């Protein structure tokens, strides 16, 4: 197993190394009839593309996606959608400086320990370019979810110590700054912080937050396939993510039950229950949402909130001590231009992985009740 497939019914298999001929993904189980074109995917890929600001590497990457299967006359056929991005700019460089050295904070050593050798060109499979496949698949999942009235919104909540406070969050300005932050002032502060990092030949991390609106109650399965568990795996599987939270997350550990419980109430009590999908029961509102929209691993119909902690870029030009493959102590200063922060580029990756986990959970939920099967097959 090399773990390149995610999802039970809506599944994605990604492949490709940063300096191989191409990178891609196979999206299997996408329902038939979804209108889909390369542009739908390209829009998402462009959000992770480098060279868009001075805080991302200047590497030129066209990253033009092609759809090779699964779409006919503009709609998905229900069979696998294969997408590919050919790697440009892969002229053989001089890798002698990293070929036999394990870069601190990178997967060089752990891959070597697992496989006995590694594709050392630009990180190979552990490169950030691996996320191209995730984002291409996420674009399709997000489009599918949109047809079901579900919208995902991810943004940079914090960069290093600069964190946007809850009351300052303005979702309308996210695309107005290169850091994808929901507040222009904090975006400026974060930029200033990044400047100092760069002067020190250092890097920064941060926090990505993702909101999911429109998810009906009842999504997710008990015990091991809880919706939050699937989301946690999806998000933690992104390179550089070191922590995941749902709702108040770690903060809730300090609250008391009376503070953390979200009281239910009915805006219009007695009103005939609307949602059939919610089983002829009322669709309540909650006076707070510390739970982040998930109770007992199953969505409660309110906004889903998750957070990912992104570690600082391990590639820094500062000298660091490490070892060589043949057992000598040494030092390394990583040459070439690298992102001083990857958080802004990780925003769309987090959004994509959340979309993949949710789309799969929603498909798996369709057979939760006998009445659903009977309605489906009786017609």
Considering only residues 236 through 255, tell me which ones interact with a copy of itself, judged by CB under 8 A.
236-237, 239, 242-250, 252-255
* CA–CA separation, 142 and 135 (whole Å): 10
Quick count: other Cβ atoms within 10 Å of Cβ 11? 18
> 205 and 309 in contact (C-beta within 8 Å)?
yes
Measured between alpha carbons, how far is residue 112 from residues 123, 203, 331 in Å? 11, 25, 19
Using CB under 8 A as the binding rule, the residues of this chain from 131 to 160 that contact a copy of itself are 144, 147-149, 158, 160
End-to-end alpha carbon distance in the chain: 41
The nearest distance, CB 122 to a copy of itself, in angstroms, is 12
- The tokens for 317 are 């030009």
Binder among 53, 66, 90, 153 for a copy of itself (CB under 8 A):
66
The nearest distance, CB 44 to a copy of itself, in angstroms, is 18
85 CB-side CA count, 13 A: 33
Residue 178 makes contact with a copy of itself by CB under 8 A: no
The nearest distance, CB 108 to a copy of itself, in angstroms, is 8
> Is 312 marked as a binding-site residue?
yes
* CA–CA separation, 215 and 302 (whole Å): 7
* CA–CA separation, 43 and 49 (whole Å): 10
Identity of the residue, 183 or 339, whose beta carbon is nearer to a copy of itself in the bound complex = 339
Q: Which stretch binds a copy of itself (CB under 8 A): 37-45, 88-96, 164-172, 370-378?
A: 370-378
DSSP state of 328: -
Measured between alpha carbons, how far is residue 128 from residues 10, 23, 353 in Å? 23, 11, 14
- Provide the β-strand partners of residue 35: 75
Identity of the residue, 146 or 172, whose beta carbon is nearer to a copy of itself in the bound complex = 146
Contacts of 55 (CB under 8 A, 6+ apart): 178, 179, 191, 194, 339, 340, 341, 344
Binder among 37, 58, 113, 192 for a copy of itself (CB under 8 A):
113
Residue 336 makes contact with a copy of itself by CB under 8 A: no
Using CB under 8 A as the binding rule, the residues of this chain from 180 to 209 that contact a copy of itself are 197, 200, 202-207
> Is 134 marked as a binding-site residue?
no
Size of residue set near a copy of itself by CB under 8 A: 186
> 197 and 160 in contact (C-beta within 8 Å)?
yes
Residue 161 makes contact with a copy of itself by CB under 8 A: yes
Using CB under 8 A as the binding rule, the residues of this chain from 76 to 95 that contact a copy of itself are 76-82, 84
Identity of the residue, 182 or 301, whose beta carbon is nearer to a copy of itself in the bound complex = 301
The nearest distance, CB 174 to a copy of itself, in angstroms, is 19
> Which residues line the annotated binding site for NADP(+)?
48, 54
> Which residues line the annotated binding site for FMN?
125-127, 296, 311-315, 337
């Amino acid at each position: 197993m090399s773990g390149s497939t995610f999802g039970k019914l809506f599944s994605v298999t990604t492949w490709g190394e940063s300096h191989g001929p191409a990178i891609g993904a196979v999206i299997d189980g996408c329902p038939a009839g979804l209108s889909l074109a390369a542009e739908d995917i390209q829009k998402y890929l462009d959000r992770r593309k480098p060279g868009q600001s001075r805080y991302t590497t200047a590497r030129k990457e066209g990253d033009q996606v092609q759809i090779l299967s699964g779409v006919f006359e503009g709609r998905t056929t229900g069979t696998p959608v294969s997408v590919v991005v050919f790697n440009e700019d892969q002229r053989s460089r001089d890798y002698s400086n990293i070929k036999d050295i394990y870069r601190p904070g990178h997967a060089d050593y752990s891959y070597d320990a697992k496989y006995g050798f590694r594709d050392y060109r630009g990180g190979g499979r552990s490169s950030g370019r691996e996320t191209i496949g995730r984002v291409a698949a996420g674009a399709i999942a997000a489009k599918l979810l949109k047809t079901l009235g579900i919208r995902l919104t991810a943004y940079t909540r914090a960069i290093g110590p600069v964190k946007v406070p809850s009351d300052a969050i303005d979702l309308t300005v996210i695309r107005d700054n290169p850091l994808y932050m929901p507040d222009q002032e904090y975006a400026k502060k974060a930029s200033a912080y990044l400047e100092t990092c760069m002067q020190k030949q250092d890097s920064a991390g941060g926090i990505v937050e993702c909101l999911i609106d429109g998810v009906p109650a009842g999504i997710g399965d008990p015990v091991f396939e809880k919706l939050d568990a699937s989301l946690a795996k999806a998000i933690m599987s992104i390179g550089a993510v070191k922590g995941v939270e749902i709702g108040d997350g770690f903060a809730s550990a300090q609250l008391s039950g009376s503070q953390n419980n979200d009281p239910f109430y009915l805006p219009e009590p007695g009103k005939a229950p609307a949602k059939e999908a919610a089983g002829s029961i009322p669709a309540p509102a909650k006076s707070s949402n510390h739970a982040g929209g998930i109770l007992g691993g199953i969505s409660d119909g309110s906004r889903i909130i998750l957070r990912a902690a992104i570690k600082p870029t391990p590639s820094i030009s500062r000298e660091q001590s490490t070892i060589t493959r043949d057992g000598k102590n040494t030092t390394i200063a990583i040459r070439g231009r690298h992102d001083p922060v990857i958080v802004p580029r990780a925003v769309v990756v987090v959004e994509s992985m959340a979309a993949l986990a949710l789309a799969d959970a929603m498909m798996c939920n369709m057979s939760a009740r006998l009445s659903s099967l009977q309605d489906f097959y009786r017609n």
